[in-house]
Chain A
Amino acid sequence: MSTEVKEASAAAVKEPSEPLFSKKNRLLLTDPLNDSNPITVQVLGICSALAITVQVKQAVVMSLSVLAVMIGGNLIISLLRNIIPSRIRIIVQLVVVASLVILVDQVLKAYVYDVSKALSVFVGLIITNCIIMGRLEAFALANKPWPSVLDAIGNAAGYAWILIAVAVVRELLGSGTLLGFKLIPDAFFEFGYMNNNMMILPPMALITVGIIIWIQRSKNTALIEEN
Chain B
Amino acid sequence: MQFLRNIFDNLRPNFEQGGKFEKYYKGFEAMETFAFTPGHTAHKGAHIRDAIDLKRTMFLVVIALVPSLLFGMWNTGHQYYLSIGELTGLGEGFLDKFIFGAIRVLPIVVVSYAVGLGIEFAIAIKNNHSVNEGYLVSGMLIPLVLPSEIPLWMVAVATAFAVVIGKEVFGGTGMNILNPALTARAFLFFAYPTKLSGNAVWIPQESGMAGVDGYTGETLLSQAYNAPAGSNFGSVAYDAAGQQYGSLADTLWASFWGWIPGSIGETSVFAILLGAAILIFTGIGSWRIMLSFLVGGITMSLIFNAWGANAFMSVHPLQQLMMGSFMFGMVFMATDPVSAAQTVTGKWIYGFLAGFLGIMIRVFNPAYPEGIMMAILFMNVMAPLIDHYVVEANINRRLKRAKVAA
Listed in ascending order, the chain A residues whose CB lies under 8 Å from chain B are: 192-194, 196-199, 201, 207, 210, 214
Contacts and interface: CB of A to CB of B under 8 A. Distances in A.
B46 interface: no
B231 to A, nearest CB: 34
Contacts of B169: 210, 214
B165 A201 contact: no
Contact of A197 (B151, B153, B165, B190): B190
A192 B152 CA distance: 10
A198 B184 CA distance: 12
A193 B194 CA distance: 12
Contacts of A196: 191-192
B190 A201 contact: yes
Interface in B135-182: 151, 153-154, 165, 169
B228 interface: no
Contacts of A192: 151, 153
Nearest to B186: A198
21 contacts: A192-B151, A192-B153, A193-B153, A194-B154, A194-B192, A194-B194, A194-B195, A196-B191, A196-B192, A197-B190, A197-B191, A197-B192, A197-B193, A198-B187, A198-B190, A198-B191, A199-B191, A201-B190, A207-B165, A210-B169, A214-B169
Contacts of A201: 190
Closest 3 CB pairs of A and B: A198-B191, A198-B190, A196-B191
Interface of B: 151, 153-154, 165, 169, 187, 190-195
B252 to A, nearest CB: 35
Nearest to B151: A192
A175 to B, nearest CB: 13
Given A192-B153, A198-B187, A199-B191, 13 more contacts: A192-B151, A193-B153, A194-B154, A194-B192, A194-B194, A194-B195, A196-B191, A196-B192, A197-B193, A198-B190, A198-B191, A210-B169, A214-B169
A194 B151 CA distance: 10
A198 B194 CA distance: 12
A38 to B, nearest CB: 23
Contacts of B154: 194
A213 B395 CA distance: 39
Nearest to A173: B191
Nearest to B153: A192
Contacts of A193: 153
A27 B151 CA distance: 50
Contacts of B193: 197
**Among B153, B191, B192, B194, which residue has the most Cβ atoms of chain A within 10 A?**
B191
A83 to B, nearest CB: 50
Contacts of A194: 154, 192, 194-195
Contacts of B165: 207
Contacts of B187: 198
Nearest to B190: A198
A193 B192 CA distance: 10
Contacts of B153: 192-193
A196 B189 CA distance: 10
A192 B187 CA distance: 18
Contacts of B192: 194, 196-197
Contacts of B194: 194
Contacts of B195: 194
B379 to A, nearest CB: 18
B380 to A, nearest CB: 15
B127 to A, nearest CB: 11
A61 B82 CA distance: 55
Contacts of B190: 197-198, 201
Contacts of B191: 196-199
A207 B191 CA distance: 14
**Among A193, A198, A199, A201, which residue has the most Cβ atoms of chain B within 10 A?**
A198
A194 B194 CA distance: 10
A205 B294 CA distance: 36
B306 to A, nearest CB: 35
A199 B190 CA distance: 9
Nearest to B188: A198
B65 to A, nearest CB: 27
Contacts of A210: 169
A197 B367 CA distance: 15
A201 B367 CA distance: 15
A198 B193 CA distance: 9
A68 B153 CA distance: 44
A184 to B, nearest CB: 14
